[in-house]
A and B are shown apart, each in its own frame.
Chain A
Amino acid sequence: MVSLFNIDFKKISVFSDEEASERKKKFELFLKTGLPNKKDENWKFSDLNFIISKNFKQITIPEDLKFDKKIQFIRDFDHNHITLINGVYKSCDIRFEEKEKVKIEGLKSFDSFTIEKGNNLYNLNRALSSGGFSLEVQKDYKCKKPIIIYNYFTSDLDNKIINNSNQIKLSQNSELTLIEYNITEKSKFIKNTFENINIGQGSLLKSITIQKTKSNGYFYKNISGIQDYSSSYQNFILSSGLKFNKIEINMNLEKENSNCYILSGLSLSKDEHQEIKTQINHFAPNCKSYQKIKNVLENDSTGVYQGKIFVKDIAQKTDAYQLSKALILDDKAEFNAKPELEIYADDVKCSHGSTSGSIDEDAIHYLMTRGIKLSIAKKLLINGFLNEIFENIPEEKIKTFLEKSIMEQVDGI
């Protein structure tokens, strides 16, 4: 592990001296156990240690760089934006919002980050983290347009590891739609991100993740958040096209009447490995959570879903549902699922379903008898399978944009 990582701590900009020594301690802690492997229950289906050591000989941190390229912005709908270059906060433009209501800046402190123990990637992140942003929406303010995060990765990132942390806070009765848009140039790198979300009473956060093009990136993202009374969190994960991607979401429904939706539609091709892991903790009565994960797997790709619903004894009237579905198109592809329930309250409605299999032969036959070619019939069915995910996005323009991006991916099949 020591030989794999070649880190120069002098290159990291720190908030304080105290913090600098803390970083070294965290890094030593990380080196003790190294990258997680399949012996770790959370990584049972995605052996990160194996994947990284197979693809990387040496890992260093990126240098400071001067960035003068022009990013191609999305023109399909009006939006505000934040630009992150190689994970570091660069600039923001919130032209559609009242300036004093939305506060965006580079991350200044890790104080709000508390991550469950035993996650060694957190130690790594705290040791090397540089960059990321902090976003706060003020009380009673509903953002008029979505904010797109342009996450740009340059071409000189070969064998580099990017660590960053983001902080998102929605005060009482506020609303925000956040779209993370990843643009990667051709380089092979690792990204390790921790995100902290705090959704205030009566607030709504919608988050969408999408990938512009295929990438050689190896991404890990850990999202942990808490939700107050009657708050709502919706997360759409549509980021197909990475070599490795694991998104881990831990959401605590701490107060009554809050709800949490996680939906994902992914189409994976050659040599790709994606995992979504969710843990929804129902700590209060009358909350609702819903997870729907759909994977289309071709070639030798691997799709994984690990989900857990925890219901505390006082969280009566909980309504929780988990569904994972996979279309396996090739004999080399693989789908693994572990949908878990841990329930201590009796007056609840908790269920999960998981299916995996091939495309329905009857449906193909039906389409072909109506004069549609086999390849087109397949694409139609795959599209239909994935479309179910963004039917839940109400904004027409965003939906059309997402549909278009997904269509491009499916056409590649």
Chain B
Amino acid sequence: MKSGELKNQEYKYGFSTDIENFKAPKGLSEKTIKFISEVKKEPKWMLDWRLKAFNRLKVLKEPNWQKPKYPKINYQDLYYFSAPKSMKDKPKSLDEVDPKLIETYNKLGIPLNEQKKLSGVAVDAVFDSVSVATTFKGELDKMGIIFCPISEAIQKHPELVKKYLGSVIPISDHYFATLNSAVFTDGSFVYIPPNIKCPMELSTYFRINASETGQFERTLIIADKGSYVSYLEGCTAPMRDENQLHAANVELIALDDAEIKYSTVQNWYPGDKDGVGGIYNFVTKRGACRGKNSKISWTQVETGSAITWKYPSCILQGDNSVGEFYSIAITNNHQKADTGTKMIHLGKNTKSKIISKGISAGQADNTYRGLVDIGAKAKNSRNYTQCDSLLMGNKCGAHTVPYIKNKNSSSTIEHEATTSKINEDQLFYCNQRGLNQEEAVSLIVNGFCKEVLQQLPMEFAVEAQKLVSISLEGSVG
């Protein structure tokens, strides 16, 4: 990529689509929740569950221990449900979907159309509050894999939803998780039956379009005994000068010998150069390795959002289970990130690995916050943590806040962290070979992130690599 190109790369997903919306009444109330539940034609148990969360929410306080502070959110001034009007009566197939919507997804490069099915990724696209279309359904059905919007799963597979929803993130967990439990609108549901290896990457694309809306999606992935699934998630939003809230909950459950790989490329609108607008990305992601020999692996590339505040975590309950966390968090201009992971070791011989790379430029603040907790019964457990930060300029900050707890004598925890700037010698070497400053930085940064980028599935890795370069544009020199 030439440097000229790099400089001109603005946030290219910043357009908004002019689609007539159908919204819930403004504000957070029992009425809104009943409205959402009614539109979704939900059974009574679901509505009760939501109301239980809402009652809990009334006594909870918003947490304030995080590093990035933000102005108080007026929860009564938000729309909790917004859907393209044409989705009110659900389309039966892609042909019936509003062409404007299809156009939007085409602009975003999401393979919704038949022709693009060749790329072999099954996609569930969520536009504001509703799931628009899920591709490849038939093929997955044949193998017994369920991949559908969660609202559909509530109706068609209530026994699975009832059993697992809220079992990893309980409704009373914390403020934003509880808020999500009360008002969640849509999201993906995945169930992989025993001993099935999902033959393709499953993917969800999230898009916030309407203004003054919060997006509250809920994802639930269950990998039954001996199964495997790789799941991708991507997100974009239009440029607006207001802050929009995104508070999602993602729950993963891996039973005996199952493996879930969850990859995120988060590119919500980060706000402009002066820090106006952008998404507040307050997400709760948690996976439970319930079964023996199970594995959950989180990979995230966080380049967007005005504030990113999330800790994809693993609860290693089953003996010999494995948790992994690979993360790149890039903050530029006035962006703020407070992200990391929690690895909670409960079973014997459990292993976890954390690789976190933080890059901070402009006036941004980037915090790694993590917990490694090895319980007294988790004999012979191991953890390895490495978190590296790269600083560009002296107006930005890089922070590391790890909590490390070891409660038994047969387990080992290793933690290292470094903070530095780009090595002058490396820059000089690249310059000497004819790369200009921006190209050299882009190359070095990509090298710095390589350990994490390697973990991404092919389709995502290329996009992520580009994103890493674009996010740092103009931060050099």
A residues sitting closer than 8 Å to B (CB atoms) are 41, 313-314, 316, 326, 328-358
A328 to B399: give the CA distance in the assembly, Å: 28
Flag if A353 contacts B397 (CB, 8 Å).
Answer: no
Q: Which residue of A lies closest to B392 (CB)?
A: A346
Residue from B392, B405, B411, B419 within 8 A of A336 (CB atoms): B405
Q: Which residue of A lies closest to B379 (CB)?
A: A331
Is B100 close to A, CB under 8 A?
A: no
Nearest first, the 3 A-B pairs at minimum CB distance are A357-B412, A346-B391, A351-B418
Is B143 close to A, CB under 8 A?
A: no
Flag if A336 contacts B404 (CB, 8 Å).
Answer: yes
Q: Which residues of B contact A313 (CB under 8 A)?
A: 394-395
Flag if B406 contacts A334 (CB, 8 Å).
Answer: yes
Flag if B413 contacts A357 (CB, 8 Å).
Answer: yes
Could you jot down 15 A-B contacts, CB within 8 Å? Answer: A328-B406, A332-B376, A334-B407, A337-B403, A339-B415, A340-B402, A341-B398, A341-B419, A347-B394, A352-B400, A352-B415, A353-B416, A357-B409, A358-B409, A358-B410
Q: Kindly list 7 other residue pairs between chains A and B, CB separation below 8 angstroms, not including A347-B421, A351-B418.
A: A343-B391, A343-B397, A346-B421, A347-B394, A354-B415, A355-B414, A358-B410
Q: Which residues of B contact A332 (CB under 8 A)?
A: 376
A345 to B420: give the CA distance in the assembly, Å: 9
Check A344/B417 contact, CB under 8 A, given A334-B406, A356-B404, A358-B409: no
Q: Which residue of A lies closest to B371 (CB)?
A: A338
A184 to B419: give the CA distance in the assembly, Å: 43
Is B401 close to A, CB under 8 A?
A: yes
A349 to B414: give the CA distance in the assembly, Å: 20
Minimum CB–CB distance for A328 against chain B, Å: 4
Q: Which residue of B lies closest to A350 (CB)?
A: B419
A355 to B406: give the CA distance in the assembly, Å: 10
Q: Which of B376, B398, B414, B421 gathers the greatest number of chain A CB atoms within 10 Å?
A: B398
Check A343/B406 contact, CB under 8 A, given A313-B395, A356-B413: no
Flag if A338 contacts B416 (CB, 8 Å).
Answer: no
Q: Which residues of A contact B408 (CB under 8 A)?
A: 328, 331
Is B331 close to A, CB under 8 A?
A: no
Q: Which of B369-384 contact A (CB under 8 A)?
A: 376
Flag if A348 contacts B420 (CB, 8 Å).
Answer: yes
Check A344/B411 contact, CB under 8 A, given A339-B417, A350-B418, A351-B417: no
Minimum CB–CB distance for B365 against chain A, Å: 9
Binary contact readout B276-318 vs A (1 if CB under 8 angstroms, 0 otherwise): 0000000000000000000000000000000000000000000
Residue from B389, B402, B403 within 8 A of A343 (CB atoms): B389
Q: Which of B65, B409, B411 gathers the greatest number of chain A CB atoms within 10 Å?
A: B409
Q: Which of B404, B410, B411, B414 gathers the greatest number of chain A CB atoms within 10 Å?
A: B404
B residues sitting closer than 8 Å to A (CB atoms) are 65, 376, 389, 391-421
Flag if B407 contacts A337 (CB, 8 Å).
Answer: no
Residue from B398, B409, B414 within 8 A of A331 (CB atoms): B409
Minimum CB–CB distance for A55 against chain B, Å: 22
Check A335/B406 contact, CB under 8 A, given A313-B394, A346-B391: yes
Q: Which residues of A contact B394 (CB under 8 A)?
A: 313-314, 316, 344-347
Q: Which residues of B contact A339 (CB under 8 A)?
A: 400, 402, 404, 415, 417
Q: Which residue of B lies closest to A303 (CB)?
A: B406
Minimum CB–CB distance for A404 against chain B, Å: 28
Residue from B391, B402, B409 within 8 A of A329 (CB atoms): B409
Q: Which residue of B lies closest to A329 (CB)?
A: B409
A351 to B405: give the CA distance in the assembly, Å: 19
Q: Which residues of A contact B420 (CB under 8 A)?
A: 348-350
Check A351/B409 contact, CB under 8 A, given A338-B401, A341-B400, A343-B389: no
A314 to B395: give the CA distance in the assembly, Å: 10
Residue from B393, B413, B417 within 8 A of A355 (CB atoms): B413
Check A348/B406 contact, CB under 8 A, given A338-B401, A356-B412: no
Q: Which residues of A contact B402 (CB under 8 A)?
A: 337-340, 354
Flag if B415 contacts A353 (CB, 8 Å).
Answer: yes
Q: Which residue of A lies closest to B393 (CB)?
A: A346
A332 to B409: give the CA distance in the assembly, Å: 8
Q: Which residues of B contact A329 (CB under 8 A)?
A: 409
Q: Which residues of A contact B396 (CB under 8 A)?
A: 344, 346
Q: Which residues of A contact B418 (CB under 8 A)?
A: 350-351
Minimum CB–CB distance for A329 against chain B, Å: 6
Minimum CB–CB distance for A384 against chain B, Å: 18
A349 to B404: give the CA distance in the assembly, Å: 22
A333 to B418: give the CA distance in the assembly, Å: 29
Flag if A341 contacts B392 (CB, 8 Å).
Answer: no
Flag if B419 contacts A351 (CB, 8 Å).
Answer: yes
Q: Which residues of B contact A314 (CB under 8 A)?
A: 394
Q: Which residues of A contact B416 (CB under 8 A)?
A: 351-354
Minimum CB–CB distance for B66 against chain A, Å: 12
Flag if A331 contacts B404 (CB, 8 Å).
Answer: no
Q: Which residues of A contact B400 (CB under 8 A)?
A: 339-341, 352
Flag if A331 contacts B421 (CB, 8 Å).
Answer: no
Flag if B405 contacts A334 (CB, 8 Å).
Answer: yes
Minimum CB–CB distance for B420 against chain A, Å: 6
A358 to B382: give the CA distance in the assembly, Å: 12
Q: Which residues of B contact A341 (CB under 8 A)?
A: 389, 398-400, 417, 419
A336 to B403: give the CA distance in the assembly, Å: 7
